[in-house]
Amino acid sequence: MQEAATPTMDGATSDSAPRIRPLDPLLVNQIAAGEVVERPASVVKELVENAIDAGATRIAIDLASGGIDLVRVTDDGAGIAPADLPLAVGPHATSKIAHATDLERIATMGFRGEALASIASVSRLTIRSRRPEDDGASEISVEGGAAHPVKPTSGPVGTSVHVRNLFFNTPARRKFLRTAQTEQTRCVDAVRSLAAANPRIGFRVSADERTLLDLPPDQSPRARALEILGRELDSRFLEAHADQFDDARGIALWGLVGLPDIARATNRAQHIFLNGRPIRDKTIQHALREAYRGLIEPSRHPTAVLMLETAPDAVDVNVHPTKWEVRFRDTSLLHSVVLRAVRDALRAADLTTTGLLRPLPGTLRGSEAIQPSGSIDAARFVEYFRRDVPASTGGRLDYDRLRAALDPIRSESHHAATDEPPAHADQSPPDASHVPGFLSPRPARRILQVHKSYIVTEDEHGVLIVDQHALHERVMFEVLLERVTAGNLESQRLLTPAIVQATESHLAALDSLAPLLTRLGIQAEPIGPTSIAIHAFPTLLFDRKVDPVEFLAELLDHAETDAFNPDSEEALRDVLDMMSCKAAVKAGDTLGDHELANLLDLRDQIERSSNCPHGRPTSIRLTIDQLDKLFHRT
Ligand code: ADP
Ligand code: MG
């Protein structure tokens, strides 16, 4: 048997022989196989997809030597007519599409009609099949592309495809395979993935007589999705959904998204499905990332299963042989649907990191704050949402009240800095407890500041431990973001300008930053070749004793880096990050009772209070259940 990659060069030197000639059909299929059949897991994927397309309710997969020696997929689906068996293993033969227009609305997993032919060209393949109306089963065998005649045999309704000795005739391809154990794991992963998208179908995988996976038919979507995420993580997932189907090219979405504390180091725990088909898609990944912005550290990746449904003509699945990639007609709609659904799910939930290092499953009492399992009803969903947003502000932060509430933190904790910024409009700090309607009239909670860094208190679930700097940073960030979104930040004029020593590139950066600085309430201009004068600075930063000179110098350094695009939303958030970090109380600051109480109250008022703007947790909760476990009471 010739190696597929070795061209036949005989006669190439003779002038009379044609140099261009059609490829041998086996070679054509082997080349196609190079795209479709990379390893046993690809065989598993193709065969299981065929079984799904055939309407199977149960699919069994048997493997030997990680699928290298044998992959057998047996289904109870519609079967293949005896006369169709030779066609099924031939190239470009499919029952799924007939006309070019069909390509625009593909609803099946397969359609290219090349999988069986490709697999047959690089293995020993046997198909046994029987339709419900047939008296018996029929069988066809193909070895290295050569088909034997169809012969009658016995067998149940459905189809069983045996693929033996993969790549027996293409040793070079075989060399790329990993150990049997690795290939087996990939085969099981391929089944898990397809199973997640088809919770009504039962799947069983066995290898060398051992059952590796056994999923009963008719599981709930959540239970199935947890098969790929890890069942033990059940309590760490929220349900996300969106239904934008009203519009003709609509998108519906259902998914499980992980709490920030189970984010991973890679994006391998993101499983995206479109119309039941596992896909990889940059737009969706980006939207997912966006939704978690500020909730996880930038180096981490959210964990999620997202199932999207679109009309078949809203997407082109015919852009890649393995069908991993698809092309959406409306990527911006896609982005906004995913972003909104995931963001809403995160907003509605209590994202407080729970427990010590590793979260214990199911530990929130009555899992009240975590979305219940099973399907979610919209009214309940909306209710969750409402509960987390202070009713008094109609869903928006009331800046003035927040500012008032922050003021005591300023007045008590910050002793006059030596380089006191120039005086600004004189106002006596309002006492937050006098601001009507802001502080909830709940009984005072007991609060303890620990080592001038952490705040410990009690809530309805157990003990809450707060990092004072991280939480205050988040509060400052949300206040600033809300304010900037509503208009430019309020600023104070300096009586005498503050002078920043600047380099030439600082001056250039200042120029490009102009619109951003205006939004932030910073007024600065070059005076001479090496200095910049600051004339006005945001009130909120003044209040928090942030030094204008230090701040602007740092901002200009930051703006010099290549990645910084001053006109992007990202840059704005970056700068707000810097501001909040500088303005927030620090570890080591002593806080008075009033400040502690205010800070904890603000925690309940703002969004994303579970994590600081860099994604680190602001709070950790030890639930009563966990404490009981730790003390061996249960
Ligand atoms: P495609 O799935 O793209 O149509 P394949 O080469 O995978 O191409 O399969 C060729 C044809 O064989 C399918 O169109 C289908 O008619 C038939 N077929 C393959 N597997 C099965 C199965 N398990 N049950 C019923 N029909 C099948
Ligand atoms: Mg197929």
The DSSP secondary-structure symbol of 100 reads G
CA of 159 to the centre of ligand 1 (A): 10
- The alpha carbon of 612 and the centre of ligand 2 are apart by a number of angstroms equal to 48
Residue 16 has pLDDT above 90, yes or no: no
Task: Starting from the CA of residue 113, give the closest ligand.
Answer: 1
Nearest-CA residue for atom 13 of ligand 1: 94
Q: Evaluate: CB of 195 within 6 angstroms of ligand 1.
A: no
CA atoms of 331 and 315, how far apart (whole Å): 10
pLDDT band at 113; cut points 50, 70, 90:
confident
- Phi, psi for 361 (deg, rounded to 5): -65, 145
Tell me which of 102-116, 496-510, 591-605 is least confident.
102-116
Q: Look at residue 442 and tell me whether its pLDDT is greater than 70.
A: no
Instruction: Please tell me the predicted confidence (pLDDT) of residue 374.
Output: 30
Instruction: Compute the distance from residue 210 Cα to the ligand 2 centre, in Å.
Output: 27
- Higher-confidence residue of 374 and 334: namely 334
Query: Which of the ligands is closest to the CA of residue 32?
Result: 1
Closest ligand to Cα 112 = 1
| Choice among 37-46, 99-108, 275-284, 521-530 with the minimum mean pLDDT | 99-108
Q: Return the ligand 1 atom nearest residue 108 CA.
A: 2
For atom 19 of ligand 1, the residue with the nearest CA is 50
Element (H, E) at 53: helix 40-53
DSSP class of residue 422 equals P
Instruction: Tell me how far the alpha carbon of residue 632 lies from the centroid of ligand 2, in angstroms.
Output: 54
Segment 602-618, tens digit of pLDDT: 888 888 888 888 888 89
State if residue 540 touches ligand 1 by the CB under 6 angstroms criterion.
no
Nearest to 190 by CA among 283, 330, 59, 304: 59
Ligand 1 binding pocket includes 237 (Cβ within 6 Å):
no
The pLDDT score that the predictor gives to residue 135 is: 94
Ligand 2 geometric centre to CA of 46 (Å): 5
**Residue 280 contacts residue 320 (beta carbons within 8 Å):** no
Choose one of 50, 112, 129, 162 to mutate for the ligand 1 pocket test, by most ligand atoms within 8 angstroms of C-beta. 50
60 CB less than 6 Å from ligand 1?
Answer: no
- CB of 95 closer than 6 angstroms to any ligand 1 atom: yes
% of the chain exceeding 70 in pLDDT = 82
Confidence of residue 104 (pLDDT cuts 50, 70, 90): confident
Nearest CA to ligand 1 atom 20: 50
Rounded to the nearest angstrom, the distance between the alpha carbon of 344 and the centre of ligand 2 is: 37
Report the mean per-residue pLDDT for the chain: 81
* Dist. CA 190 → ligand 2 center (Å): 15
- Residue 416 — pLDDT band, cuts 50, 70, 90? very low
Given a cut of 60, whether residue 279 has pLDDT beyond it is yes
589 lines ligand 1 (CB under 6 A): no
Q: Is pLDDT at 18 greater than 90 in this prediction?
A: no
pLDDT value at 216 more than 70: yes
pLDDT score at 245: 59
pLDDT of 64: 97
The number of residues in the chain equals 634
Q: Is 89 in the pocket of ligand 1 (CB under 6 A)?
A: no
pLDDT band at 277 (very low <50, low <70, confident <90, very high): confident
Is 50 exceeded by the pLDDT of residue 431? no
Ligand nearest to the CA of 51: 1
The pLDDT value given to residue 383 = 31
Residue of minimum CA distance from atom 17 in ligand 1: 88
**CA 492 to CA 508: how far, in whole Å?**
25
- Using the structure block, give the residue that is written with the tokens 């479709």: 36
| Of 328, 325, 334, 331, nearest in space to 313 by CA | 328
User: With a 6 A CB cut-off, is 112 part of the ligand 1 pocket?
Assistant: yes
Q: Which atom of ligand 1 is nearest to the CA of 109?
A: 2
| Any ligand 1 atom below 6 A from CB of 552 | no
**For ligand 1, is residue 312 a contact (CB within 6 Å)?**
no
**Average pLDDT for residues 50-76, to the nearest whole number?**
97
Higher pLDDT, 457 or 362: 457
Ligand nearest to the CA of 54: 1
pLDDT higher at 481 or 4: 481
Report strand pairing: 202-207 vs 58-64. parallel
Q: Work out the number of other CB atoms within 10 angstroms of the CB of residue 633.
A: 9
Which of the residue ranges 111-120, 246-255, 533-542 would you say has the lowest mean pLDDT?
246-255
**Confidence band, pLDDT 50/70/90 cuts, at residue 347:** confident
Q: Burial, 197: exposed, middle or buried (Cβ in 10 Å; 0-12, 13-18, 19+)?
A: buried
- Ligand 2 mean position, distance from CA 96 (Å): 9
Distance 530 CA to ligand 2 centre (A): 69
**Would the CB of 75 count as within 6 Å of ligand 1?**
yes
* Segment 119-157, tens digit of pLDDT: 999 999 999 999 999 999 999 999 977 899 999 999 999
Say how far apart CA 233 and CA 362 lie, in whole Å. Answer: 9
- Sorting pLDDT into bands at 50, 70 and 90, what band is 563? confident
Distance 161 CA to ligand 1 centre (A): 11
Residue with tokens 């890890």: 230
54 in contact with ligand 1, CB cutoff 6 A: yes
Query: What is the DSSP secondary-structure string of 504-553?
Result: HHHHHHHHHHHHHHHHHT-EEEE-STTEEEEEEEEHHHHHTT--HHHHHH
* Structure-block tokens of residue 138: 């029929």
Count of beta carbons in the 10 Å neighbourhood of residue 330: 16
Q: What is the pLDDT of residue 357?
A: 42
Q: Which one of the ligands is nearest to 119 CA?
A: 1
Residue 411: predicted pLDDT: 43
Assess whether the C-beta atom of 78 lies below 6 angstroms from ligand 1: yes
* Cα–ligand 2 centroid distance for 108 (angstroms): 9
Is 90 exceeded by the pLDDT of residue 210?
Answer: yes
97 ligand 1 Cβ < 6 A: no
Whole-number pLDDT of residue 393 = 35
Minimal-distance CA residue to ligand 1 atom 23: 51
CA distance 193 to 228: 7
Check residue 525 and give its pLDDT. Answer: 94
For the chain, which domains are there? 25-215 (3.30.565.10), 221-317+324-416 (3.30.230.10), 433-620 (3.30.1370.100)
227, 232, 486, 616 from 361: Cα distances, Å: 16, 7, 41, 21
Report H helices in 54-144: 85-88, 115-121
- Ligand closest to 96 (CA) is 1
Q: Is the CB of 159 under 6 A from ligand 1?
A: yes
pLDDT of 294 above 90: no
- Higher per-residue confidence, 424 vs 239: 239
Q: Is 116 in the pocket of ligand 1 (CB under 6 A)?
A: yes
**What's the confidence (pLDDT) of residue 342?**
95
CA pseudo-torsion sign 43, 46, 49, 51: negative
Is pLDDT at 238 greater than 70 in this prediction? yes
Band (pLDDT 50/70/90 cuts) for residue 313 is confident
pLDDT per residue as tens digits for the range 179-200: 999 999 999 999 999 999 999 9
pLDDT in tens, 380-414: 322 322 223 333 333 344 556 555 555 545 444 44
Q: Looking at the CA of residue 75, tell me the nearest atom of ligand 1.
A: 23
Ligand nearest to the CA of 72: 1
- Note the pLDDT of residue 355: 63
